[in-house]
Structure formats: structure tokens, C-alpha cells
Amino acid sequence: MTSPSVVEIAGLSKTFEVPDKGTMTALSGIDLSISQGEFVSLIGPSGCGKSTLLRLIGDLTEPTTGTVTVNGKPAPQARTDRDYGIVFQAPVLFDWRTVEDNVRLPLELIGTDKATREARITQMLELVELTEFRRHHPYQLSGGMQQRVSIARALAFEPALLLMDEPFGALDEMTRERMNSEVLQIWAQTGITVVFVTHSIPEAVFLSSRVAVMSARPGRVTRLVDIDLPRPRTVETRESRRYFELVTKVREALRGGDGQVELDEAAMEQVAAEGLG
Amino acid sequence: MTTAGHAPSRRTQWRRIFAVVAFLGMVLVLWEGVKFLGGDPWFVNGEKVWTPPLSIGIATDQNLPHIWSIAGALAEPWRRNQEDSLFIYLAGKALYTWREAALGFALGALIGISLATVFVHFQLFERALVPYVVASQTIPIVALAPMIIFFVGNDVAAVVVVATYLTFFPVTIAMLRGLRAHDPRALELMRSYAAGRRTIFWKLRMPASAPYLFTALKIAATASIVGAIVGEGPGGIQEGLGRAILDFNQTYTTGPEKLWATILVTALLGIVFYLLVRLAELWWLRDRAPNVLT
Amino acid sequence: MTDRILQWLRRNLPAILVFVIFLGTWQVVISSLDVRAFILPAPSAIAAALVENWEAGYQIWPAAQNTFLEAAGGLVIGTLLGLAMALVISRWRLAADIALPVAVAISAIPIIAFAPIANNWFGVLAPTSKMVIAAVLVFFPIMINVLRGLTEVPGSSLELMRSYAASSWTVFRKVRVPNALPYFLTGLKVGTTLALIGAVVGEYFGGLNVALGRIVIESASTLGFEVTWAAIIVASAVGIAMYVLIIVVERVAIPWHASVRGERPA
């Protein structure tokens, strides 16, 4: 039984006008279908348009040709109906609001009644484990913590879709891996659909059910890689053989390979022994 | 929105010029419009051509002369039995005032840069003196002007002192930020080259502080002119705009146009000086990436 | 509590020392040199003149109140007008793009030249004329700063609000206005200084006798410099008090801002 599709993209392309330089085609001929409950990563070289694609899904910019359907509606309507939450690369918190006030923002905008609103805020802060920091201001928090607040905020009004644009790009490797696990936990608990932009292959493979590999500008989806790693995914997953295979497969796809992967068994053993991932 | 850089796009530049011109036009229309509605009766060649319906105190010919009266006064001799037109007369005075202001401006900038340099290299001096630098600007310098005149003597030097005083503060504060505005990693790079303090100062801190310096200089341009004008009054300097303002203020009832004309020339002086600094800024910073400082 | 005071003292010791040394040197130099004494009186002489003329003679205290009222009145009027203008203009992007350069151009004009006109329009002896001058001086920094604060919002914040399908009125209320608060307070700090200058310079061109500017002019012209200095010191004190008031407001209103936390200058 196929889950309903949350995001349907057909024949999408996006061309920008560059002052004094003419036009620039960021995306060309994108077709993509994302089902409910999936975790899909978009990965590609710099400038391949993955962030633009994310913004097209969120109706933060308009397509030049093609259609974007979110939750069965055209993207603009999905935005007005607030069907998705978005997390940017920078936390984009308001300096003048406390942590809980920042999470409160979307609920204020929707006009949620006070009781429900406060309950949601408490729930969200528990989800990202920042309850003791409710009344702190953003400047008192580390980068990782600020991002957690922005995730709590994105989920505050229980959207069907979560869009994330390289949210952990500015964090160090250790924090990033921890945040990866936290996102998976949240995803498992809420059953939300996630579209995740990244340029880290390990991250994409670790998190996703599918990885959409994109080519350089003009961006196209060149391959969809199914990630059949078992869940829940843990630290051990990162050290498993299947993980390495998939990382290599995605890497090859990025390099324009034909998808066939030949593994050097001896090299694999050595890499596993040295704990590289 | 408008991220003001030091080299805005061609379109924005034209837009700005258009904006200022449109604004001026609006002012002129409003000026005469108010007189049309509620001023004194309008005369052309001695004949009454229009009687305004209302009566607005400010719009009388005494308080708000017609624009063409002001323009006309500029073309006529500035006083009976004098040859020079009011415009020439005022232009001469403006030049005189500008020289005082420019001198004060240059001195103030020099002092400001030097002070900031000392502060940056010797934190003790910074902590000891910066509160007074800040406090000095809450003192209405203009209140000090008569004092300075008597102290230094009844001449140009006094006015220059006032202009210097008004300039050095914004420059000091701006340079204090500017000399520290460089990327800290650039400083580390210089240290890795075993560059001494002097080298670091000239090759890193000074160039990095240029945008901040120019921001302060634009403020100082106007401030030094204000200082010169205010200083000229009590100082009894005859040759500057301050004197002209005082004189025409006294003869206001017999010739209000002249005071307005003087104000116009003063405004022009301020704008011209400001533009000069702006041009210098555009040239000096021509190769740099646009930033958000104006 | 004593800890905090000690800490503050230690940090500001150099500045305090400078002041003490300065006063001391001044007193000693003046006492031993007679020549310049009449222009630069000793601190003790100034203090004496201040006390003598506080309520009697030149009436420095009532004068200070009058000048303060002119400055404060001008500050309030100029701030209200500047705020209103900025709020209205920020509504239309075209208007904002036009208004900023115009306002900056006008602030390049030595507005002080307008002082005699104000006196003529509103009456030389009326405090209103000085308030008007002060208000005109205050209007521009307030308007420019608030306009900047309302328009220079990070693009990412606007994108976030767009993702919430927020109306532009909502964006104005929830993003632009709070963003503008620090800018407004910066403008207010500049404004207090200018308001006082406007009041005092306005008085230079004519006004009631019981005003600090008039006292300065009159006492200087009769060579009574102790009084002149006393009046100037009082004027400075008024200016500093107003400035400090704004700083206190800043601490309370925007404690989260980097400049108030002490990380960078406003």
C-alpha cells in the first residue's frame, strides 16, 4: 500500500535573471515524488540548486516552468495553509525574544488559543531537550542549541512536511552527528515527512530513506538511491559495512558514475578497522 | 532593501538624484502653495493679482518671502551703494567660513585619528580618557564658543578651535571602532609574518578603518561648518557667514529675503562640503566590496 | 554588592584619576599664575560663582530648568515627528528609498542657520522658538535611524515570515518594529545632545534672560567668566543627565542587544 504523496514535483525548472549578465538556469526538468513519512535528502555539488529546489517546495520562490504540489495542493496554497515548517542553515531566531517566545512565534501568527499554545511550546521544548533554557535569550545559547530551538519552532504547529536547508552545516562534526540522531528521533516520534538538503554524503546516507543525487548547474536529479539501512539507526550503523557501501554508491553517483559499485574487500576491512566513516 | 554601499548601482544613484530633485520641487510647491492659500496678497509689477482666502501667520511675506523675492535679492546689490550682488557677497563669506571649517576639519580629523591610535595601542589611556571624550560631546560646544574666543583671541584661530572640537569626537569614536574592525585572523596573519606594531598599523588597521573614517568625516563636515558659524558670532569675525546671519537677522523686518538667502547659501555650503567628502570616499574606497556602512 | 562596586571602581580608576589630577592641576596652576586667571578662573572661583548665582544674581538654577524644558520639549516633539515620519515612509518601499538620501542630504545642512528664523516666527522670548530649533535638529537622526531599523531587516527573517504566510502588517509588528528598537535608541542618544545644543544656540540668538545660553553670552560680555564657566558646567550636567537617562532606558529595553551586553559599541 503506497503512502499518499506529500510532495509532487513535475517538469520543474527555475531560471534566474542576473543583472548585467543575462539569465542563469538553476534547475532544469526536475521530477520527484515524496511519500508521506519519507526522509529524503537532496545532495549535490555547490550551486546545483538544491537549496533553490527546497525553496520552490516551500513557495519561497516561483518556478519558471513545471508544478510543485504539496499535500495535494499547489505550493502557494500549502504555504498559506501552513503545511510545512522550515529550518534554515542559520537559526534565524529573533534576538529580542526568549527561547520560548521564539517557539511561540508561529503559534501567535496562526492564532492558536492560549492553552493549546502553551502546551505545544512545552512539548516542543521537551522534544529538543531545551526545557531548562526556556527563558534564555538566543545569545546565551550555543550554535547547536539555537538550531534545536529553530527545529522546535518549525514543528510547533505540527506541519505535515519539514524542510531543512543544510541545518547543521555550521556545526562541528561531533555536534552534527548528535543532531543527526536527534532529528531521526524526532522524525520517528512525529511521523513527519522530511526533505533535507545537505552536502555531506555521510549525513545524507545516515538520515534518509532515499537520497536524491543532483548534478551541477543546471541542476537535475540524476539518481535516486534507496537507503535500506535498518532503523533505528545508531552509532553502530555508521560503522557497518552496508553503510560504507551506500556512502560509496552515493559518492559514485555524484561523480557521475553508472551506479555500479565494485568494492575492494580488503580496503573495506581496513577502513572499518580504522573507524573512518 | 537598500543596502547602502559605497558604490551603489547606477540605477540607485539616478533614483537618489531624482529623489532629491523631486523633494526640492515639492518643497517649492508647498512653499508657494501655503502663500497662495493664506499669505499676503500677491503683486506682480505693482499690481495685485491674487488675494489668498485664508490667513496663515507663518505665510506672510515677512515670515516667508516669495521664492522669487529671495532669488531676486540674490541678484541685487547686497546693500545700497554696494556693487557686489548679494550672491557674490555671500559667496565670499561662505568661502571664508569654509576655510575656517576646513582647517578645523583637518585638525580635528588628525587629532581624532591620533587619539584613537593611542587608545588602540595603550588600553590604559583608553580607559582613562574615553569617558571624557564622550562627555565632551554632551557639552554644548557652542556654549564654550565665547570662552574659546576670549581665550585664544578675537580671530580665526578661535573659530578653527571650535570647528576642531566638533570634528575630533566623531572621528575618534569612529576610528576607535575602525582600527579594531579588521578580521582578527588578518592580525594573526600579520603576526605570523613577525610584523611589528607599526607595520600592522599602516598595512592593516589603517586601511581596514577607512570606511569608518569616512562615515565620521561626513558627519564632521557639517559639524565643522556649524562650529565655524557659531564661533564667528561671539567672536566678532566680520568676514564669515555667521556675521552675515547676525546682520541680516537684525535687519530682518526691512529685508527678510536677505536672511533667507543667507540661510540658502549656508545650506549649499554644507551640502557642497558633504559632497566633497563623499566624492573623496567614493574614490578612496573604489576598489572595495560594497558594505552596509554609509 | 560591595564586590560589584569594587569592580566598577577598579575598571574606572584611570578615568577617575585623570579627573582628579586635572582638577588639582587646574587649581594649582591658576592659583600660582595671575595672567590668564580672569579668562580661566580657578575651580574654587567657579564653584563660588555657581553657589552665589544659583537662585540669585544670574539665577542659574531657574535658567537650567528653562533650558532643560526647551531641550526636552524639542526632544519630545522632534522624536514624535521623526517616529511618525519613519513609520509612514517605511510602509512604501519606494518612499523609503527616496526619503533616506533626502534626509541624509538635509542633515548635511547646518540647520543652526535656521535659528534666527525660528526666533522670528515663534517669538524671540518664547521658549517655543527654542523648542522648534531643538525639534528640527532632533527630527533627522531619529527619522533616519528608525527608518533604517525598520527597513534593514535580515533577509532570512523575512523569508522565515514568508514561510508562515505572514501579512506585511504582521511582519511589521513582529519583526520590523522590534528590530528598529536599538536603532531608535541610538538616534535618541544623538538627539538628546542635539536638543540641548539647539536650545542653547537658539538662546544665543536671543531669548529670555533666565536661560543658560543667555547667561553665557551676558556674563562673558561683562567678563564675569566664573559665571560663564558655571553656566557651561551646568549645561553639560543637564546634557549628561539626559544622555545617562537614555542609557538606562537602553539597559531596560534592550538588554539582549550586543551593544548593551558590552560586546560592541552601539
Q: What is A84-144 written as a DSSP string?
A: EEEE-SS----TTS-HHHHHHHHHHHHT--HHHHHHHHHHHHHHTT-GGGTT--GGGS-HH
Set of chain C residues whose Cβ sits within 8 Å of the Cβ of B20: 101-102, 105
* B 23-82 residues inside an 8 A Cβ radius of C: 23, 58, 63
Q: Which of A195, A180, A273, A271 is nearest to A233 (CA)?
A: A180
Q: In CATH terms, is domain B93-292 a member of 1.10.3720.10?
A: yes
Using CB atoms, pick whichever of C156, C175, C179 lies closest to residue A90: C156
Q: Which of B226, B219, B218 is nearest to B267 (CA)?
A: B226
Query: Is A240 in contact with A229 (CB distance < 8 Å)?
Result: yes
How many other C-beta atoms lie within 10 A of the C-beta of residue A9? 22
Kind and range of the H or E run holding B100: helix B86-121
pLDDT for residue C32: 67
pLDDT-derived band at C265, boundaries 50, 70, 90? very low
Is C160 close to A95, i.e. CB distance below 8 A?
no
pLDDT for residue C116: 81
Q: With an 8 Å Cβ cutoff, is C170 touching chain A?
A: yes
pLDDT tens digits for range A128-180 = 889 999 999 998 999 889 999 999 999 998 899 999 999 998 888 888 888 89
* Burial classification of residue A173, based on how many CB atoms lie within 10 Å of its CB (0-12 exposed, 13-18 middle, 19 or more buried): exposed
How many other C-beta atoms lie within 10 A of the C-beta of residue B55? 11
pTM score: 0.76
d(C-alpha A223, C-alpha A48), whole Å: 14
Set of chain C residues whose Cβ sits within 8 Å of the Cβ of B218: 108
Query: Is C234 in contact with C64 (CB distance < 8 Å)?
Result: yes
Distance, CA of B294 to chain centre:
16
The residues pairing with A86 across neighbouring beta strands, listed in sequence order, are A163
The residues pairing with C126 across neighbouring beta strands, listed in sequence order, are none
Query: Is A16 in contact with A24 (CB distance < 8 Å)?
Result: yes
* Burial classification of residue B39, based on how many CB atoms lie within 10 Å of its CB (0-12 exposed, 13-18 middle, 19 or more buried): buried
pLDDT for residue A42: 95
d(C-alpha C96, C-alpha C147), whole Å: 7
Query: Where in chain B does DSSP place strands (E)?
Result: 42-44, 47-50
pLDDT for residue B3: 33
List, in order of start, the domains of chain C with CATH numbers.
52-261 (1.10.3720.10)
Is A88 close to C160, i.e. CB distance below 8 A?
yes
Rounded mean pLDDT of chain C?
83
Is C156 close to A79, i.e. CB distance below 8 A?
no
Residue numbers of chain B with a pLDDT score lower than 70: 1-9, 138-143, 145-147, 149-151, 153-154, 234-235, 289-294
In this structure, chain C runs to a length of 266
Q: Tell me the range of B252-266, C67-81, C103-117 where mean pLDDT is highest.
A: C67-81
Task: Return the domain boundaries, chain B.
Answer: 2-64, 93-292
Q: With an 8 Å Cβ cutoff, is C266 touching chain B?
A: no
- Cis peptide preceding A218, ω within 30 of 0: yes
Test mutation, B18, B60, B142, chain C, max C CBs within 10 A: B142
Q: Is C265 helix (H, G, I), strand (E, B) or coil?
A: coil
Set of chain A residues whose Cβ sits within 8 Å of the Cβ of C165: 79-82
pLDDT for residue A123: 92
Q: How far is C98 from chain B (nearest CA, A)?
A: 5
Percent over 90 (pLDDT), chain C:
21
- Cis peptide preceding A91, ω within 30 of 0: no
pLDDT for residue A271: 60
Which residue in this structure is represented by grid cell 518612499?
A: C95
Using CB atoms, pick whichever of A95, A96, A109 lies closest to residue C164: A109
Q: Is A1 helix (H, G, I), strand (E, B) or coil?
A: coil
Residue-by-residue DSSP string for B184-245:
HHHHHHHHHTT--HHHHIIIIIHHHHHHHHHHHHHHHHHHHHHHHHHHHHHHT-SSSHHHHH
B to C CB pairs, distance under 8 Å: 161
pLDDT for residue A2: 55
* C 144-173 residues inside an 8 A Cβ radius of B: 151-153
Query: Is B218 in contact with B281 (CB distance < 8 Å)?
Result: yes
Contacts of C171 (CB under 8 A, 6+ apart): C158, C161
Is B270 close to C11, i.e. CB distance below 8 A?
no
Contacts of A90 (CB under 8 A, 6+ apart): A170, C156
Q: With an 8 Å Cβ cutoff, is B233 touching chain C?
A: yes
What residue of C is the nearest CA neighbor of A138? C256
Percent over 70 (pLDDT), chain C:
91
Contacts of C112 (CB under 8 A, 6+ apart): B226, B229, B230, C133, C137, C198, C201
Q: How far apart, in Å, do the first and last CA atoms of chain A sit? A: 35
pLDDT for residue A266: 63
* C 26-65 residues inside an 8 A Cβ radius of B: 36, 39-40
Q: How far is B46 from chain C (nearest CA, A)?
A: 27
Query: Which residues of A lie closer than 8 Å to C, measured between beta carbons?
Result: 58, 60, 79-82, 84-86, 88, 90, 92, 94-97, 105-106, 108-109, 137-139
pLDDT for residue B74: 85
pLDDT for residue B1: 30
Q: Which of A123, A121, A162 is nearest to A34 (CA)?
A: A162
* C 198-227 residues inside an 8 A Cβ radius of B: 200-201, 204-205, 212-213, 216-217, 220, 225
> What chains are in contact with A, requiring at least 3 Cβ pairs below 8 Å?
C
Query: Is C74 in contact with C132 (CB distance < 8 Å)?
Result: yes
Which mean pLDDT values do the consecutive 10-residue runs of chain A (277 residues) have? 79 86 87 94 89 92 92 91 90 90 91 92 92 93 92 91 92 88 91 94 94 89 91 89 93 73 60 57
pLDDT for residue B86: 86
How many other C-beta atoms lie within 10 A of the C-beta of residue B292? 11
Gyration radius (Cα) of chain B, Å: 24
